[in-house]
Structure 1
């Protein structure tokens, strides 16, 4: 399902939330919306099929998430992510990340160039972890919206034709 944060069935996805917890999550989501450069409200995604821990997976089971994708020149991509997911140990975690399209000689698809993971547990509540992830995402959204800026920070190759040429050579 996709929609505005107001459409997210928070107490269905996370049955233990109090009204104060819901208000905290909503406040963090409004702050993310306010930080978006295009002024549009974010399109959040939620997956009801992942309400129950699906067991360890080769992928990370998303429960709630936001992907802010920036495209440049039709071929380059920069993504800002905020997700609530299951860990392999049946714990909720809030993941926030900036990733860029890969321009390495070997195609890795994308690279996380900055990331935060907060596992929900005795010391960190879901609302506190979500708020911290949202604050990190908002900080990243104020940095340049230039994938090469982020690649340089992570010491990755700049965007360019080398990978495309390598693909042509490989068949």
Structure 2
């Protein structure tokens, strides 16, 4: 009879299912889970907003690569102008606001929206360096005129409505 020896593996020898890094400046360990190239799910609320923004930007980029009739009703891929205006808007979005949900209309116009506790805010980018928005809550409704993206700041009225979401 031959004897088999059992070898025990220590935890240190196992490959972790996640990547753990320790910052020398901090006594806290930061852990992130890798899902793909340059994408990770961070553990803190502020960093999860950052992850949401990465997902938003990825989705916006995917709208440009859609084929004609992507929705089965003659839908067009996102127009370059609407896409670039949406990215410009997202780059100006203050960190205190959560990442919006993107959507694409059949004519290639991109919109972003937030929905929370019965409140709904939608911003659309027709592709002419402007945007307009609607806000709805209970019986309250507001629709803006076209607002230029030429300045360095977002519209004060829009920011006030975003603060209510």
Using the size of structure 2 for normalisation, the TM-score is 0.30
Q: Which has the higher helix share?
A: 1
Give the number of the structure with larger relative contact order, counting CA–CA contacts within 8 Å between residues 6 or more apart: 1
Larger Rg: 2
Using the size of structure 1 for normalisation, the TM-score is 0.29
